Structure 1
Amino acid sequence: MYLYIETLKQRLDAINQLRVDRALAAMGPAFQQVYSLLPTLLHYHHPLMPGYLEGNVPHGISFYTPDENQQKWLRELTPDAQDANKPGEMPITGVYSMGSTSSVGQNGTSDLDIWVCHQSWLDNNERLALQKKCNQLQKWCVSMGVEASFFLIDENRFRHNESGSLGSEDCGSTQHILLLDEFYRTAVRMAGKRILWNMVPGEEESHYDDYVMTLYSQGVLTPNEWLDLGGLGTLSAEEYFGASLWQLYKSIDSPYKAVLKTLLLEAYSWEYPNTQLLAMDIKQRLHDGEIVSFGLDAYCMMLERVTHYLTSIDDHARLDLVRRCFYLKVCEKLTEAQPGRNGWRREILTQLIKEWGWDDARLQMLDNRAEWKIEQVREAHNELLDAMMQSYRNLIRFARRNNLSVSASPQDIGVLTRKLYAAFEALPGKVTLLNPQISPDLSEPHLTFIHVPVGRANRSGWYLYNQAPDMDSIISHQPLEFNRYLNKLVAWAWFNGLLTAQTRIHIKGNDVCDLPRLQELVADVSHHFPLRLPSPTPKALYSPCEIRHLAIIVNLEYDPTSAFRNQVVHFDFRKLDVFSFGQQQQCLIGSIDLLYRNSWNEVRTLHFNGEQAMIEALKTILGKMHQDAAPPDEVDVFCYSQHLRGLIKTRVQQLVSECIDLRLSSTRQEPGRFKALRVAGQTWGLFFERLSVSVQKLENAVEFYGAISNNKLHGLSIKVDADQTRLPAVVNGYASEGIIQFFFEDTQNDRGFNIYILDESNRVEIYHHCEGSKEELVRDVSRFYSSSHDRFTYGSSFINFNLPQFYQIVHIDDRLQVIPFRSQTLTQICATTPDNSSNDYHQPRYHMH
């Protein structure tokens, strides 16, 4: 037994040294320096060292002694650094890199995943201090040009089934055994204790702890010389589900790497419940003495297992894809001579492509990935997406087959599925982003936008070509993209990187939009919307979607003011209302396009046209804002009208800002928020309710006052034209311009009442046989006016900020007379209400404009 264990230790040390050598040989000087010095920086703690923090910071790695190069660096740093900082206890069990490091999958852009394993006796403050030190070291790595992530691992984490929190790198509660599986098959010991798991034969895995205790009791192994994270145990169906979701999550940002890992998990599920984890295969080969074999390369073994799975289920399409992903991940261009480069990686690839039967043309195409443009990128994107969605469907089937109650926390599952939805779900108006690390430059020298009007052979709308506007070349090419509206095509080209400052833009369709207007739109979008933003946080993904950046694009495709050219337009400067303009009460907003980015980093577009475009756009914008949302970080209005551009832009900006404020500031205690807007001579009401914003067309005064009243008027309400029916003479006597006046007249036999309404200009509306409570109507209308003041507008000619006046027509001494309307309820309310309270009831005031 002793000799066998000693042989295993030698093999373990030999393969670890081989991996260290391969990790360093594959990378540049900066990576080599970072990789070599990290153990020293975690072992010692000195003010002149990167990662230093004041206070009691745990440092010191078990069984670590600096090598010659590390000692030289320490002496250069400060002569006393080594003596002054020799740690007593060694809280750090070991430091290990894991993942692609040292494998054929490591390339010049690979990052570092570092596990800092520590003793379980560290308290919370000590763990926090060590984490801060690691955060500082991470910043130092970035300053050296190396992306590194540090993970603090308690020795007992996997024994107690603990998990981290979901973040950009930490898989949270979604993995346990599978994370340990990846660590055991890919770990490279940089400093500290050897990993005990490697010493336990595969056939003893099911009673791992008993076998380890036997080794200790026989004196074959010494307990404190080994890192023991525990055995691999049994892979649960729930964990497979969570881990697969995690890999799909990662695939959004690193598609080529994630395809291989996702398919490995799919292969695991195919074997379930008799899954043989990949780490067990590698350990078996270690015990069998296969040290130098390429088969011990973690990436090659992953490909081998996935190949076996896809061949077994006869899925040759995804097998071909996974081979291309593997080749691109390795990043060794076999069509280019690489003198002095690592021979072993190229040797592996050369051997593999010979087995696959690839020709030079395929190699050339893959090696030229940096030159791929939109057609190839879209094809690759769709292929990767199809593969991921196939894995997702298989995952759902697996979950149903095993009747899963998922082990991952509901919050983690929510975050994972939200990000998948945000990245992959195709929705009307959504801008699909096609370039997740597929090609670095999709810019086009020429983009041509062609409009096809209604009635032609092709469907009407806009077509985008990456050609100059030479009809012969365009006719022989398929369009890159089609949409009914120009805004969507511009957004698609901008956010996918086709449209840059150097791109020459051309347009065919001047009857809808000319080149200067298109160039203005491109400039506005590119100036206000950055291409790249940080990925949404788990908190943002777990929370309801919110609009973060909104652009309102006015009159891009239809501009009513263009008709003003060479015309005399009559309007009153005192009533310059762009929504109901001039004597014809014309709406000067003909089309509105929305372009917005939300808190999940989706980019969306919407289009509205016609006289009611403003109302429809407002309702849509406000409907996408839940009551407790944060207001957008930025709201921009881009206006492309030929005339009155500044006025239209300002008015739309004011209106949108006011409505957003009303939507997001309404509370349950103040549910009756209301905004009236006159558009093209018609009045519309926007009602800000707790769960939604509704729109109602208000044809007349009773509808308006009924809409804002909690007591809706009901019964038969007949409007009578004032030209045909004369007002009671007593009403004529009270008519006064500049104020709104209500006259109530009770009908005989108590069959309801009539209402005579005179607006500011003494225009008359008459309603017969109304039913309902006059008192409540008066109360609610008075309340609306006293609380709204300048918050609300209702067209320039219908309402001012005077309170309406209410009268009752009565018979006194056989004569009709008008007296101020009074009710007991209203009198009591007014008597107890301070005049300066903007939210309470007021007695009618009598004053004129």
Structure 2
Amino acid sequence: MHLNMTLLKQRLDTLNQLRIDRAMANMGSAFQQVYTMLPVFLHYHHPKMPGYQDGIVPNGICAYTPNEAQVQYLTNFCQSADIPLNQHASQSLPITGVYSMGSTSSVGQSQFSDLDIWICHQSWLNGNERTILQAKCLLLAQWAASLGVEVNFFLIDENRFRQNQSGKLDNEDCGSTLHILLLDEFYRSAVRLAGKPVLWNIVPDEQEMNYEEYVSALFADETLQRDEWIDLGGLGSLSAEEYFGASLWQLYKSIDSPYKAVLKTLLLETYSWQYPQSQLLAIDIKQRLHNGELDSFSLDAYYMMLERVTTYLQAIGDDTRLDLVRRCFYMKVCERLSESTEAIPLQGNWRREILSQLTRDWGWDMERMQILDDRANWKIERVRDAHNELLDALMQSYRNLIRFARRNNLSVSASPQDIGVLTRKLYAAFEALPGKVTLVNPQISPDLSEKNLTFIQVPIDRANRAGWYLYNQAPQVDAIIGHQPLEYNRYLSKLVAWSYFNGLLTPDTRLHVKNSQYCSDEKLQMFVADIAKHFPLRVPAPTPKALYSPCEIRHLALIVNLENDPTESLLQQNTPPFDLGKLDVFSFGNQEQCLIGSVDLLYRNSWNEVRTLHFSGSQAVIEALKTILGKMHQDALPPESVDVFCYSQHLRGLIQTRLQQLVLECISLRLSSTRQDSNRFKALRLAGQTWGLFFERLSVSVQKLENAVEFYGAISNNKLNGIPVQLKAGQEHLPEIIDGSASEGIIQFFFEDTDKGFNIYILDELNRVEVYLNCQGGIEELVCDVSRFYASSHERFTYGSGSVNFNLPQFYQIIQSEGEARVIPFNSNSISPLSASSVPMTKKDILLSHTF
């Protein structure tokens, strides 16, 4: 009935030892120490060992026996600590096994690779015990980091995949976006460092669809003993609906690891191309294991990924992406074949041997390898080309997977919460928007700094477009004339921000300004110094909570009179001496001139986007204020910093102080919690005209007030009538609790349970409102349908040859807590099932009514 189990166990042990040896080969002593000692520190818990914390901490690995190096450490440790350590090997200890997975031990491992460690634990560990064990893992990760090794720990309940559970989405954990595909990656790449062997490897591939029955038979006739193996389940339950969430996850990972993400995203595309006869890579490896193929290539998870993707791209004739995939693979392996073997010995370095054979098969010459090996010295032109090429390939795979889902009428298996977080992250990273600073160097080159940057202004009515041109050369005629600029923008602030946040502009960069009437080299130097002081380049990644919440401004700067400075002409007009106490910088002198000629906004938001906007002329202040306030929803946190950078020739300090006071006052009014006070407004005299800023429920409006009657009339209208909101479902008012979450730029759905069903309140990207009352049916199904509709139908994101939209709707639930209404992110696990009786408004009606 069964294959020779003894032989299979021997092959499995042989493969595992081969992978351990390969993981250690050609790696530094710090990596080898961490890789060897992690099982020891998870098995034992002692104050003198890394990872120790007070209290009762789950420790102990089932069936663990220390190897020779670990025994030597323990022997020395016991003597120095004078404490005997019980080397228990029980099968009922909390940790079932410790495994490395991913690129470790494969040809894809390099000196720069991190370690992904799965700690599989017994299902009887409770939540508190898991939290304590996670804290121990964090301490172990800090110990490894002190040695220069990055380790990511993942606690895996042994029943997670059998019960379709998911982790909590964060920078490393894929949450609900991957399930069987995650298990596929684990099975094809796992290395057992300690604990029980993985049962799945024993089950023949032809039994995959009958996995449970086959395993039960093995235990029933005592061919295998249940407590000697870890059983995470079979791969037969893979659903094609998992591909969409998986592709989003790989795009998410591409922000930091683009070369690896291209390979993995194309593997997903390959799986979809083979559908419904898709065969996972892990099953291929298992087949070769059962057939006794233990050579260098057959069981290497990274090589097999390249092999499968290559077969697919050749079959569809996509030579462009095939060439890119090979380059991605080469740079992931990171063996630098253009360097002589005298510096790096070829013999004994198995990764280098494999890569050398592959590049010969590909017909690569030395020049190509030299360019790739010199990636650490790539500058902006080559990095931007690489970034665009990688992004194009990723988006093409994403679009192909979307088409695959449409053809097969597939829904999305990932939770709406995780899809919301991922799409927000992708929107922030990839969405091309006016004024947004695009970051073009996702771990491609470590240093884009330039020795010289020249900013040249072209005025109106010239042959070239009016605006600013950036060159990475000194301002010499032969270096500029006939050469393409690095970047163009109508406004200087955007070019400077782009240079700074992309790392071209550093303290050692020499800056030059040419042909500008207002901005001198000195003014530009001051502007750059202000940005560097107030906007750090490195900030923590946005949390899932921040990504699922409406966007908020975190760091804000107003840049005044950088390109247009009205104060330069003040002394030329023989203006009498100023009384600074009475001077109005917004309506100055007899001519009532506004001394602010241009305002540039520079801000970083809670999704880590960096934006710039430019306003000029006499109304620049009011336009800038309305724009800033419109990007703040009423319950947002105030910005962590609000700065005004003023570059006026005269009255610089006064202009800066007065504008900062005005901005802070307006922000306070916008974020005020007194929602019932409908009389919140700010009157501003600007260049001889009176303007009213009205702080309304969902937005901030601006009205020009010509006379006193109009002024007071506007106040009364605001006070008596509130905000004019057009509702499609009668004259019912929008619940006030929604005000605090209303955010421009995204579509928001709010669900509210009622005795007759549930209400839906929908705010579009301009905060226009639609209301549907007393709906029947399932909210969760509605959320999934709306998400899928927007993911597959709305294409606002434009890049290269195609379009992708990441600005999906956000979903919220209105709940009652302690007698008060609250808005929380929609959670499918927290809602009560609703009756599916007659539906006054169909889901199709809702969807079709929101083609904004």
Amino acid of the structure 2 residue aligned with 1:381: H
Shift of 1:405: 2.6
Say yes or no: does 1:251 pair with 2:254.
yes
Distance in 1, Cα, partners of 2:390 & 2:718: 59
Structure 2 residue aligned with 1:484: 490
Say yes or no: does 1:54 pair with 2:54.
yes
> Which structure carries more relative contact order (alpha carbon 8 Å, separation 6+)?
2
Distance in 2, Cα, partners of 1:688 & 1:229: 56
Which residue of 514, 519, 524 corresponds with 1:518? 524
Structure 2 residue aligned with 1:813: none
Distance in 2, Cα, partners of 1:496 & 1:712: 47
Distance in 2, Cα, partners of 1:371 & 1:11: 44
More displaced 10-residue stretch of structure 1: 696-705 or 391-400: 391-400
1:563-712 alignment runs, 5 A limit: 563-570=569-576, 571-710=578-717
Q: Secondary structure of the residue that 2:639 maps to in structure 1? A: coil
Which residue of 181, 203, 206 corresponds with 1:203? 206
Q: Secondary structure of the residue that 1:83 maps to in structure 2? A: coil
Structure 1 residue aligned with 2:775: none
1:114-263 alignment runs, 5 A limit: 114-263=117-266
Q: 1:244-293: per-residue Cα shift (whole Å, max 9, x none)?
A: 11111111111011110011011111112221000000000001111123
Shift of 1:328: 0.3
Distance in 2, Cα, partners of 1:134 & 1:657: 44
Structure 2 residue aligned with 1:393: 399
Are residues 172 and 82 of structure 1, via their aligned partners in 2, closer, same or farther at CA, if it must alter by over 3 Å? Answer: farther
Amino acid of the structure 2 residue aligned with 1:189: R
Shift of 1:575: 2.5
**Does the CA-based 8 Å contact 1:247-1:262 persist in structure 2?**
yes
Shift of 1:3: 7.3
Are residues 524 and 221 of structure 1, via their aligned partners in 2, closer, same or farther at CA, if it must alter by over 3 Å? Answer: same
Are residues 582 and 33 of structure 1, via their aligned partners in 2, closer, same or farther at CA, if it must alter by over 3 Å? Answer: same
**Does the CA-based 8 Å contact 1:74-1:81 persist in structure 2?**
no
Q: Secondary structure of the residue that 1:281 maps to in structure 2? A: helix
Which residue of 316, 321, 336 corresponds with 2:339? 336
Are residues 85 and 128 of structure 1, via their aligned partners in 2, closer, same or farther at CA, if it must alter by over 3 Å? Answer: farther
Q: 1:686-737: per-residue Cα shift (whole Å, max 9, x none)?
A: 00001111111111010111111138999xxxxxxxxxxxxxxxxxxxxxxx
TM-score, normalised to structure 2, is: 0.82
Structure 1 residue aligned with 2:451: 445
Structure 2 residue aligned with 1:786: none
Structure 2 residue aligned with 1:769: none
Say yes or no: does 1:45 pair with 2:45.
yes
**Does the CA-based 8 Å contact 1:205-1:232 persist in structure 2?**
yes
Shift of 1:566: 4.2
Structure 1 residue aligned with 2:461: 455
1:214-613 alignment runs, 5 A limit: 214-337=217-340, 338-340=343-345, 342-570=348-576, 571-613=578-620
Amino acid of the structure 2 residue aligned with 1:556: L
Amino acid of the structure 2 residue aligned with 1:693: V
Q: Which has the larger radius of gyration?
A: 1
**Does the CA-based 8 Å contact 2:679-2:719 persist in structure 1?**
no
Q: 1:737-764: per-residue Cα shift (whole Å, max 9, x none)?
A: xxxxxxxxxxxxxxxxxxxxxxxxxxxx
**Does the CA-based 8 Å contact 1:590-1:610 persist in structure 2?**
yes
Shift of 1:527: 1.5
Amino acid of the structure 2 residue aligned with 1:53: Q
**Does the CA-based 8 Å contact 1:59-1:87 persist in structure 2?**
no
Q: 1:342-379: per-residue Cα shift (whole Å, max 9, x none)?
A: 52111111111111111111111101101100000000
Q: 1:59-109: per-residue Cα shift (whole Å, max 9, x none)?
A: 111221112221221232233444357476422111100000000000011
Distance in 2, Cα, partners of 1:711 & 1:142: 58
More displaced 10-residue stretch of structure 1: 434-443 or 559-568: 559-568
Amino acid of the structure 2 residue aligned with 1:504: R
Q: How high is the sequence identity, in percent, across the aligned residues?
A: 73
Q: How many residue pairs end up in the alignment?
A: 714
Distance in 1, Cα, partners of 2:62 & 2:214: 24
Distance in 1, Cα, partners of 2:339 & 2:594: 64
Q: 1:193-227: per-residue Cα shift (whole Å, max 9, x none)?
A: 11111111111111112112222233321211111
More displaced 10-residue stretch of structure 1: 612-621 or 65-74: 65-74
Distance in 1, Cα, partners of 2:14 & 2:68: 20
Shift of 1:669: 1.0
Say yes or no: does 1:73 pair with 2:73.
yes
Structure 1 residue aligned with 2:826: none
Q: 1:451-480: per-residue Cα shift (whole Å, max 9, x none)?
A: 111011001100000111001221132100
**Does the CA-based 8 Å contact 1:74-1:82 persist in structure 2?**
no
Q: Secondary structure of the residue that 1:27 maps to in structure 2? A: coil
Shift of 1:381: 0.5
Distance in 1, Cα, partners of 2:634 & 2:158: 46
Distance in 2, Cα, partners of 1:577 & 1:409: 55
Amino acid of the structure 1 residue aligned with 2:371: M
**Does the CA-based 8 Å contact 2:178-2:246 persist in structure 1?**
yes
Structure 2 residue aligned with 1:846: none
**Does the CA-based 8 Å contact 2:635-2:673 persist in structure 1?**
no
Q: Secondary structure of the residue that 1:710 maps to in structure 2? A: helix
Distance in 1, Cα, partners of 2:599 & 2:254: 36
**Does the CA-based 8 Å contact 2:64-2:89 persist in structure 1?**
no
Q: Secondary structure of the residue that 1:261 maps to in structure 2? A: helix
Distance in 2, Cα, partners of 1:44 & 1:580: 74
Amino acid of the structure 1 residue aligned with 2:359: I
Distance in 2, Cα, partners of 1:229 & 1:53: 30
Structure 1 residue aligned with 2:102: 99
Q: Which runs of 5+ in 1 are unaligned?
A: 715-849
Distance in 2, Cα, partners of 1:83 & 1:666: 60
More displaced 10-residue stretch of structure 1: 265-274 or 656-665: 265-274
**Does the CA-based 8 Å contact 1:560-1:588 persist in structure 2?**
yes
Q: Secondary structure of the residue that 2:400 maps to in structure 1? A: helix
Structure 2 residue aligned with 1:83: 85
More displaced 10-residue stretch of structure 1: 158-167 or 57-66: 57-66
Structure 2 residue aligned with 1:112: 115
TM-score, normalised to structure 1, is: 0.82
Q: 1:657-704: per-residue Cα shift (whole Å, max 9, x none)?
A: 000000010543112201000011110000000111111111101011
Shift of 1:593: 0.5
Amino acid of the structure 1 residue aligned with 2:543: T
Distance in 2, Cα, partners of 1:331 & 1:260: 15
Q: 1:372-413: per-residue Cα shift (whole Å, max 9, x none)?
A: 000000000000111111112112212222223311110100
Structure 1 residue aligned with 2:812: none
1:768-787 alignment runs, 5 A limit: none
Distance in 2, Cα, partners of 1:209 & 1:693: 61
Q: 1:533-564: per-residue Cα shift (whole Å, max 9, x none)?
A: 12111111111111110010000000000002
**Does the CA-based 8 Å contact 2:26-2:349 persist in structure 1?**
no
Q: Secondary structure of the residue that 1:309 maps to in structure 2? A: helix
Structure 2 residue aligned with 1:790: none
Distance in 2, Cα, partners of 1:214 & 1:477: 73
Are residues 309 and 683 of structure 1, via their aligned partners in 2, closer, same or farther at CA, if it must alter by over 3 Å? Answer: same
Q: Secondary structure of the residue that 1:65 maps to in structure 2? A: coil
Structure 2 residue aligned with 1:8: 8
